[in-house]
Structure 1
């Protein structure tokens, strides 16, 4: 499979690029500052996701595209437009899109009928800006005429860590353990993404998580 990964130098993008290449897929690692590691099956290209022409060129001969873009602080509101650029190009070339979003659009496990965005246990005030961007990104996908997309929400905490090969797949409600913890590391999240690329499920929105007691440095992806 030929896969274009946008945001390929970020935590999620790097892990997905490595996992896809590890399984023998051909990856176009697209980012503003391309990877330079020379990994097998990986071609790096400088692509600004804000430039619709370069995005269209990147997906032109792909089987799938993965959006893992995370705007810099202060630019979070650009996320829906960047995602639409990829969806526009994918629709033009009939390419499937997996959007790696945030946990904000998931349903809260403790507040019936409320999104994680509205649950301060998982989205405190300091994270509401990026959470709003993720929620708007999800809405942009729902409203886009390209119907061949899947939105994947990481759990509340997304972190670096070694590949264990373990994850649990949920639906559109935040997965938590018995203590209310919701997390996964990038390597195991990448396994779930490539599994979805290889064997698509029926859900257009789902989440994954792993449950452990390790206390490692975590990155919020609300």
Structure 2
């Protein structure tokens, strides 16, 4: 498949590019800052472009099967996520490529909370993360209002960070996935596995799903109670 990845040099985007290349896909890796081109793998097509620019989206998605957005704005510019979402939808409505969006966990509900959003639970979203979590919620709302683009929104666990590629993960819908002690984590590597699995075998078209670390080895009730 032909895949364009915006935000290709970031923690998550770089893992998505690597996973897609390892599966034999043709990847166009896009960064906004030319200085980051050197961080991209040689096997990818290297491009500079801004996902918030509709003409750029049209250019870099023309003839592609899938576009992945893994962009994350710097602190103080969280509102850019909504601008990027709108530009992507406007551009892809003209080219017909599918959209896979790396989202946030803030719009998921906390298990056993009668509907409390993760963004409103400081156990999962401390004050320093609240602005980006709220922006991700607004981003999802933009996608949910779209009727012209074949989009999918993938929410990670509460903690998404570089780690190990195990090749496995748990799937969920709109509720945060936690382990027996309440932790919610997934490595960027396994998140990329889940996203590429969705690219290759779509099961969540025009909806959101979530993933988290597989519970292996399982934690017993006795172990959980002792922690």
Fold conserved between structures, TM > 0.5: yes
Q: Distance in 2 between matches of 1:5 and 1:167?
A: 22
1:121-160 pair list within 5 angstroms: 121-160=123-162
Q: Distance in 1 between matches of 2:159 and 2:123?
A: 12
Match of 2:220 in 1: none
1:32-181 pair list within 5 angstroms: 32-33=32-33, 34-36=36-38, 39=41, 41-181=43-183
Q: How many pairs are equivalent?
A: 213
Q: Distance in 2 between matches of 1:12 and 1:106?
A: 19
Q: CA deviation at 1:39?
A: 3.5
Change (3 A) 1:123 1:37: closer
Task: Answer whether contact 2:92 2:149 (CA < 8 A) is retained.
Answer: no
Match of 2:23 in 1: 23
What secondary structure does 2:210 align onto?
strand
Q: Which runs of 5+ in 2 are unaligned?
A: 217-227
Q: CA deviation at 1:109?
A: 1.1
Normalising by structure 2, report the TM-score. 0.89
Greater Rg, structure 1 or structure 2?
2
Task: Answer whether contact 1:182 1:211 (CA < 8 A) is retained.
Answer: no
- Please list the CA deviations of residues 79-128 of structure 1 after superposition, one character each: whole Å capped at 9, or x if unmatched: 11111111211111111101101001112113122221122221122211
What secondary structure does 1:36 align onto?
helix
Q: Distance in 2 between matches of 1:67 and 1:38?
A: 16
Q: Which runs of 5+ in 1 are unaligned?
A: 214-222
Q: Distance in 1 between matches of 2:215 and 2:186?
A: 9
Q: Does 1:208 align with 2:211?
A: yes
Structure 1: 4+ residue segments shifted above 4 A: none
Q: Distance in 2 between matches of 1:136 and 1:172?
A: 15
What secondary structure does 2:79 align onto?
helix
State the superposition RMSD in angstroms: 1.7
Task: Answer whether contact 2:9 2:39 (CA < 8 A) is retained.
Answer: no
Q: CA deviation at 1:36?
A: 2.9
Q: Distance in 1 between matches of 2:199 and 2:8?
A: 16
